[in-house]
Structure 1
Amino acid sequence: CSPGSSDPRGTRPRPLGSALHFGRRGASQQPFLGCFLSLNKKTQECRGSQNSSRWSPSSDPEKCGYSYRGYQRLQKWPQTLPILATTSFAMSLCNSLHQEMESISLALETPTMRLALASGIEVSFPILTNILSLLSPTEDEDLLLAAAYVSDAQYNRNVPFETSPRAIRLYYFYNHWTMQVAIYFFICVDLSLALFEEPALFPLPFLATSIAEVLCLTAFFGRLVHFAKVTPQMVFWKDTKNICIMVTIVLTLIDLIIYGSLEAVSIHSIRWSRALRPVFLINFPESRQIRRTFRSIRNTLPDILYVFLLFMFSVLIFSLMALKLFGVRSLKTVEGLPYFTDILEIAFELYVLVTTANSPDVMMPAYNFSRWYSLYFITYIIINTYIFMSVFLAVVYNNYRKHLKNEILKLAYLKRRKMIEAFNILKVKVGTEFVVTEAQWKRLAKIVMPHISSPHLELLLRISDEGQKGHVDKLNFLRLADLLNIQVVAINIRRHPLEDWMPRVYQSSASLLVQRMVRHRIFVWVYDVIILVNAIFIALDEKKPFISNAEWLFLSLYIIEILLKLYTYEPRAYFGRKQFWNWFDMLIIIAALVATVANATIQSGNYNSQQILDIVLILRILRLLRIIVSIQRFRLIVTTLINIGPTILTFGGLVLVVYYVFAIIGMEAFQGKVRFFDPNFTTPEAQVCGNPALTGSAFARDHYCKNNFNDLASSFIVLMELTVVNQWHVLAGGFALVTHQAAKLYFISFHIVVVILIVNIFIAFILEAFFVAYSLEKSEVETAIEKKIQELGVGVQEEEMQDGKLIDNMDAKDSGFSGDDGDNKRKALKGLYFRIASKKYRTVDALLQQMFESEITPEDEGPSLDEILNLSPSDIYPKNPSFGNSA
């Protein structure tokens, strides 16, 4: 190995001697270690300001002007010391190596040597070469490290992991789907314990729930230890997520001990640590989408705060005006209570009026007294409901888009930097440029996506190696993560079994006519009309014999449709993994047939099952969903919603966290205050929900007794009703009556956090993501894939093959693959066709990156990995949003 060699590893020489392998550990280990530390110091000098634990010589060409990664190998010497001999021979060898490295340093300081290295002249350092061959990782280790970088780039992971072989393997195990499923399982178990703890929906002894919780905490701690094994120690202890998890584990154990001790002596206490359980859901690395949403909320808060303070100032001003206008006129509410005589009650009622939940009830006493007083409420509604609430949405959307852009650009830079790291590991020099060989590229892709098919892999290689040179250059290599993120559907064209079993019958004129009819668009239109007619019959009176008997006709038509399609299309293609609507059709029709037959049989036996009848009616209605497939605009909207579905679920996780915390607080504050009685109970206690404080209240009058916080499920239902905001002031007023008026702060806080903040951010995301997914033009990578598919003659257009429709009996086109190995590659794709799936991107991050990644030029490699991870919002998007820079 020499500074100008094209392969950093070169031909691996034999070890210098068996003494290097079989020596004993003795007293001379200390001077040998001192020699190593001196060498390591030289290594640090060469690395200079590079913070990465894996040094790349291209990062500092002025100081380390050779192409092999020699110095970084010396970082692995502590792992090798137990193997190396500590004899005088080893000490002599180390001293010789030290002298050689001194000569390297002196040589690099001379202009002549720098010029020689720049000109590609090879300079040999034999002792260093032999030592590095002993300490160098194998090609498989390099490939695993490169694959880890590519996988992180594909899935937008930003975990700074160690690069030693052991840490890399631990990192692969950490990211394995079984480990992720396991941690989510324990998180779900931990959160669901509230169902079995007092106040419980399904009561269990405290010992049972505490053992389950300790098991969950053990799993969380084990996951944290695993994470600590793959990340540098300094990074691990500086990460606030890890600190939060450890602190929460300790606090939960303390709470368990205190609560268990008090329960043992029959003293009731509060399990305050239950409200901390969502910390585990938020802070594990797998929940980066939820954390991103929380960061968006945190970053948006400062701008929202000023608008909210101005809004509350407006509410207080109008409250004072109401107190002076109506407080002295002795007006009464419909319940006979004084109207607008207390400033706090006025402020609460006017805050509720912003949500329109108490309109027009709140204004009626004043409006009945004088028509002119309606101007007060109209002015208030215009200013606070329509203007301020719209400003809230505008501020949230503007700031959300700003911070989303920062996050996505950061992900884009991180992805590019990781791909560059992977390229630097695998690159070899061919001519004047560094490239990755075809064999290495294939092995890399197979490690990153083990289940990728050979034809799909061959297709991606043809896109990356346009000139069929046998290698992939840097620019095309950097697109690998994007190529793997775009889902390409492989369509395997098969012959119909009937064509083999009875070819003469299947290829007869009558048979071909039937097949052409089934494939024709009119066939689909006819059945769409049948579905619409069926919908009209469903809406009519089911008790009429003509209507009920018509269902058998519709079922027969649907069964005939499926049989005709199975006759025309190859069965395995018809029930393919991607043919959702075909499976949907089959299952719905079979279930409807079974339920209809069962219902008819039961009715003939003078027994009517309402449950079976309900199932039959629901299945009939579900068949109407087939119309979505036939209308292109409907299908596009549904596909867009499916594409952004995972991130909608992310907001679901965010809402779950907020709901859980408020539910735990609500159960501790309001459990047992309101009770539900069976509707048949007519006792006075049942009429006031078990609490005399609710006598005559709207809460009891409207029979809201089941809206309580007596268990986790009931609490979630109440919080959902509060999110909808209709009648939320009645719920707040009821719980304030049974506790204290300060309880309204709980409900106001929930409204501010969920309705004003989270719902507006959710709307902002839906607007942005839907517009992107609905109207975004094809990305460069997507266009390249489609172009190559068509060039190879193995493409199926989107309009030719929609979800729920099939193309059959297509001949494989003999075009595309050229070159020396063209025939072999053509055979690999024989009978296969490709198209980009309707759900193009495997991750939502990949979809969102299409919004802003075009702003990064191909030559822009971005900051280093450490710098990217420490970027703040102002580093990437320094300007505050305005009409000029936020468009």
Structure 2
Amino acid sequence: MSESEKNENIPEASARKGNSNTGNTAKSEEDFNLAAIYVSDAQYNRNVYFDTSPQAVRLYMLYNHWALKVLLYFFMLVNLSLAIFEDPAVYPLPIWATMLVEILCLLIFTIRVIHYAKVILRDKFWKDPKNICIIVILTLTLVDMIIYGALKAANYYGVRWSRVLRPLLLVNVTEGRQLRRAFRSIRNALPQIFYVFLLFMFSILIFALMALKLLGKRGLTNINGTPYFTSYLEIMFDLYVLVTTANSPDVMMPAYNANFFFAVFFIVYILINTYIFMSVFLAVVYNNYKKYLKEEVRQLVRAKRHKMVRAFGVLQEQREEGGEPVVTQASWNQLVRLVQPNLSNAHRELLWSVSDDKNQGAIASHFSSRQILDIVFILRVLRLIRVVDSIKRFRTIINTLIRIGPAILTFGQLIIVVYYIFAMVGMELFKGKVKFYEQSSTDPAKAYCGNPLLNGTDFAKLNYCKNNFNDVVSSFILLVELTVVNQWHVLSSGFATVTHISARIFFVLFHVIVVIVILNIFVAFVLEAFFVEYSVDKSDLQTSLERKIEELELAVAQEMMEDNLVNAMETIDNDLGGSQSAKPNLPSLMFKIASKRYRTVDALLQRIFEADLDPEDFAENDDPEATGNENFANPLFSHA
């Protein structure tokens, strides 16, 4: 029997534990564990369709335990940090020491993969691209370690080429779904960006040819005495740098000094390429990012709602023969205790009051798909006495900054992955080419960074010697400087001087990927979050909760709250209840709906696209498990 058939028969399987035609059907601990897993998956956005056998459920609950996740990320950090101790090292360690630690990390990752394989069905495990990717990375890393160790034992030169694969483990672990979504955003935007980039490069080629014909034969020189605009490739690179404004106005001055009208050429170039094309890049990235992100959110919400439907299917009962299946309050309370054990009784009773708005003592099946899922969100975003910002004019800005907090962490991980890959490649290409000498050093080589080829170059004159790829820390700092863009052409020219002019491709590629693509995607996210702050109203469930709170006389008056930000859950103590102005029977525990802030990117994304999500897209029979679409596409293996 397939997994989808197993899951579709959950109600029947549960009913076999009791008599489905009688009043209450007894629910076992296994039923509640299974339902809790479904709700927890919906709550924490886990798009994993696991085996529903009791043993697999117990293994899945263990797999999602916070201690194992902390252990996984600890060894991820250790694995990435090995670059600090490997050649070229910040703190050198023997090869056998770093390899033993890496083997331990690989062993932990392998155990984690095996654990995951025990949770889901075998055919689905091997159809999941991220599992294949992890297995391939682990295998290639082990092969590389064996080859590298053998070469070093034989005193041959070896390259640890598998180090560039280390950050990809962070992308492909089950918990790395946010990072995978960021990579998919990049992948989906690349085709349209590529077309704009072709036009952009064509524009640079045309302007470079015009500059060569216009200025190449006038005998002009740069400030250092080198010929000015006589090499077509050099002109192309200088004009590309000019788009980033890093060499402005230096690149224009020889021509401008020769004739006032030559400045018109550069002004037109800057207008077309810096202001128009760079703006078009942002527009294309924003448009494609939003389009594909909305589809991802649609799939995310679809998976969430099916998880909730399945949780209802596990716990549903028939209180009378021929009656509608329901979830009783006792089952609901036990489920909430499993999912949110720290939730207060008053909080839980409030949520039940909203769910059972007709006081039937049970929740019918038609309520389970949308509203119960929303209540799961409320379990996370509802706060007691959240004080809104007192200065209204700053509220939008402050809320936007708080909104993008989780996104900053996600894009920070993305930047680290890209930085790590470029750092590993850069160290293999440029290590030892540039040397740094302390301030007190009297070595003559200090004037040219230990490489005679840099003698007299801007790189050496500006004392950029510490900007090198001699270890992973220096590499990361250099990559940050390249991200800022200023003087990046001097840095790239320095490394091109000590190696080959083609080394500039490395730096141009870094600029395109990080500055043009990734940072523009981040800007698009910030823009969308800012627009939503103006346009998104309260959800239907928030309104229902506020109405129920008012009916129960559990609301906190706005004037009773202090004018500051309270980010944790709080309660109004008995002092408030005992005040003279309060009602005699006013309970000590009060509620107020939280302001529109979100702890996770997923919650924010669903709120952003809530108005665009068509309920018909989430029909009950549109089951992702039945269609086999049990996992989002992997950015490294699947088609665009």
CA distance in 2, matches of 1:812, 1:643: 37
Match of 1:439 in 2: 330
Q: Does 1:837 align with 2:594?
A: yes
CA distance in 1, matches of 2:632, 2:294: 9
- What number of residue pairs does the alignment pair up? 613
Per the alignment, do residues 758 and 484 of structure 1 end up closer, same or farther by CA in structure 2, a change over 3 Å counting?
same
Match of 1:857 in 2: 615
Task: Report how far residue 851 of structure 1 moved.
Answer: 2.5
Q: For residue 564 of structure 2, what is the amino acid of its counterpart?
A: D
CA distance in 1, matches of 2:333, 2:597: 22
CA distance in 1, matches of 2:373, 2:516: 38
User: SS state of the match for residue 371, structure 1?
Assistant: coil
Match of 1:745 in 2: 505
Task: Report how far residue 376 of structure 1 moved.
Answer: 1.3
Per the alignment, do residues 872 and 296 of structure 1 end up closer, same or farther by CA in structure 2, a change over 3 Å counting?
farther
Match of 2:425 in 1: 665
Q: 1:474-500 CA distances to partner (integer Å, 9 max, x unpaired)?
A: 343332332232333346xxxxxxxxx
Report the aligned-residue RMSD: 2.9
CA distance in 2, matches of 1:837, 1:55: 36
Question: Which of 282, 295, 300 lines up with 1:406 in the alignment?
Answer: 295
Contact 1:667 1:709 in 2 (8 A): yes
Match of 2:400 in 1: 640
Question: Which of 140, 153, 168 lines up with 2:42 in the alignment?
Answer: 153
Question: Which of 521, 527, 534 lines up with 1:767 in the alignment?
Answer: 527
Match of 2:377 in 1: 485
Q: Does 1:810 align with 2:576?
A: yes
Match of 1:415 in 2: 304
Question: Which of 292, 298, 310 lines up with 2:199 in the alignment?
Answer: 310
Q: For residue 58 of structure 2, what is the amino acid of its counterpart?
A: R
CA distance in 1, matches of 2:506, 2:271: 27
Q: For residue 373 of structure 2, what is the amino acid of its counterpart?
A: A
Q: For residue 590 of structure 2, what is the amino acid of its counterpart?
A: Y
Q: For residue 435 of structure 1, what is the amino acid of its counterpart?
A: V
Contact 2:221 2:227 in 1 (8 A): yes
User: SS state of the match for residue 325, structure 2?
Assistant: strand
Task: Report how far residue 667 of structure 1 moved.
Answer: 0.9
Contact 1:319 1:343 in 2 (8 A): yes
User: SS state of the match for residue 545, structure 2?
Assistant: helix
Contact 2:312 2:365 in 1 (8 A): yes
> Scaled by the length of structure 1, what TM-score is found?
0.66
CA distance in 1, matches of 2:375, 2:552: 17
Task: Report how far residue 295 of structure 1 moved.
Answer: 0.6
Per the alignment, do residues 873 and 428 of structure 1 end up closer, same or farther by CA in structure 2, a change over 3 Å counting?
closer
Contact 2:451 2:498 in 1 (8 A): yes
Match of 1:320 in 2: 209
User: Structure 1 vs Structure 2: percent identity of aligned residues?
Assistant: 54
CA distance in 2, matches of 1:707, 1:842: 37
The answer for unaligned runs of 5 or more in structure 1 is 1-43, 58-66, 74-120, 125-135, 492-577, 580-627, 814-825, 875-887
Question: Which of 539, 551, 556 lines up with 1:791 in the alignment?
Answer: 551
Match of 1:55 in 2: 8
Contact 2:7 2:310 in 1 (8 A): no
Match of 1:107 in 2: none
Larger CA deviation: 478-487 vs 736-745: 478-487
Contact 1:245 1:283 in 2 (8 A): yes
Match of 2:339 in 1: 448
Task: Report how far residue 868 of structure 1 moved.
Answer: 6.8
User: SS state of the match for residue 810, structure 1?
Assistant: helix
Q: Does 1:224 align with 2:101?
A: no
Q: For residue 845 of structure 1, what is the amino acid of its counterpart?
A: D
CA distance in 2, matches of 1:137, 1:455: 26
Contact 2:14 2:27 in 1 (8 A): no
Per the alignment, do residues 211 and 633 of structure 1 end up closer, same or farther by CA in structure 2, a change over 3 Å counting?
farther
Q: Which residues of 2 match residues 710-721 of structure 1 at below 5 A?
A: 710-721=470-481
Contact 1:197 1:204 in 2 (8 A): yes
Match of 2:352 in 1: 461
Per the alignment, do residues 746 and 137 of structure 1 end up closer, same or farther by CA in structure 2, a change over 3 Å counting?
farther
Larger CA deviation: 449-458 vs 225-234: 449-458
Match of 2:98 in 1: 209
Per the alignment, do residues 138 and 747 of structure 1 end up closer, same or farther by CA in structure 2, a change over 3 Å counting?
same
Match of 2:275 in 1: 386
Task: Report how far residue 772 of structure 1 moved.
Answer: 2.2
User: SS state of the match for residue 437, structure 2?
Assistant: coil
Structure with larger Rg: 1
Task: Report how far residue 871 of structure 1 moved.
Answer: 9.0
Contact 2:403 2:529 in 1 (8 A): no
Q: 1:238-274 CA distances to partner (integer Å, 9 max, x unpaired)?
A: 1111111111111111111111111122222111111
Match of 1:592 in 2: none
Task: Report how far residue 642 of structure 1 moved.
Answer: 2.1
Q: 1:201-226 CA distances to partner (integer Å, 9 max, x unpaired)?
A: 11111111111111110010011001
Task: Report how far residue 52 of structure 1 moved.
Answer: 3.5
Match of 1:295 in 2: 184
Q: 1:295-353 CA distances to partner (integer Å, 9 max, x unpaired)?
A: 11111111111110111111111111111111111111111101111111111011101
CA distance in 2, matches of 1:642, 1:856: 28
CA distance in 1, matches of 2:595, 2:390: 15
CA distance in 2, matches of 1:651, 1:869: 30
Match of 2:231 in 1: 342
Per the alignment, do residues 72 and 369 of structure 1 end up closer, same or farther by CA in structure 2, a change over 3 Å counting?
farther
User: SS state of the match for residue 834, structure 1?
Assistant: coil
Q: For residue 742 of structure 1, what is the amino acid of its counterpart?
A: S
Task: Report how far residue 138 of structure 1 moved.
Answer: 5.6
Task: Report how far residue 145 of structure 1 moved.
Answer: 1.1
CA distance in 2, matches of 1:773, 1:188: 35
User: SS state of the match for residue 436, structure 1?
Assistant: strand
Task: Report how far residue 362 of structure 1 moved.
Answer: 0.6
CA distance in 1, matches of 2:632, 2:48: 19
> Scaled by the length of structure 2, what TM-score is found?
0.90
CA distance in 1, matches of 2:101, 2:630: 40
Larger CA deviation: 343-352 vs 851-860: 851-860
Task: Report how far residue 72 of structure 1 moved.
Answer: 9.5
Q: For residue 576 of structure 2, what is the amino acid of its counterpart?
A: M
Q: For residue 7 of structure 2, what is the amino acid of its counterpart?
A: R
Q: 1:10-49 CA distances to partner (integer Å, 9 max, x unpaired)?
A: xxxxxxxxxxxxxxxxxxxxxxxxxxxxxxxxxx6xx9xx
Larger CA deviation: 204-213 vs 261-270: 261-270
CA distance in 1, matches of 2:559, 2:485: 44
Contact 1:435 1:473 in 2 (8 A): yes
Q: Which residues of 2 match residues 144-293 of structure 1 at below 5 A?
A: 144-293=33-182
Per the alignment, do residues 410 and 797 of structure 1 end up closer, same or farther by CA in structure 2, a change over 3 Å counting?
farther
Question: Which of 870, 874, 880 lines up with 2:629 in the alignment?
Answer: 870
Contact 1:262 1:269 in 2 (8 A): yes
CA distance in 1, matches of 2:236, 2:577: 75
CA distance in 2, matches of 1:404, 1:799: 40
Task: Report how far residue 770 of structure 1 moved.
Answer: 2.9
CA distance in 1, matches of 2:214, 2:627: 59
Per the alignment, do residues 872 and 139 of structure 1 end up closer, same or farther by CA in structure 2, a change over 3 Å counting?
closer
Q: For residue 624 of structure 2, what is the amino acid of its counterpart?
A: L
Task: Report how far residue 812 of structure 1 moved.
Answer: 7.0
CA distance in 1, matches of 2:376, 2:230: 67
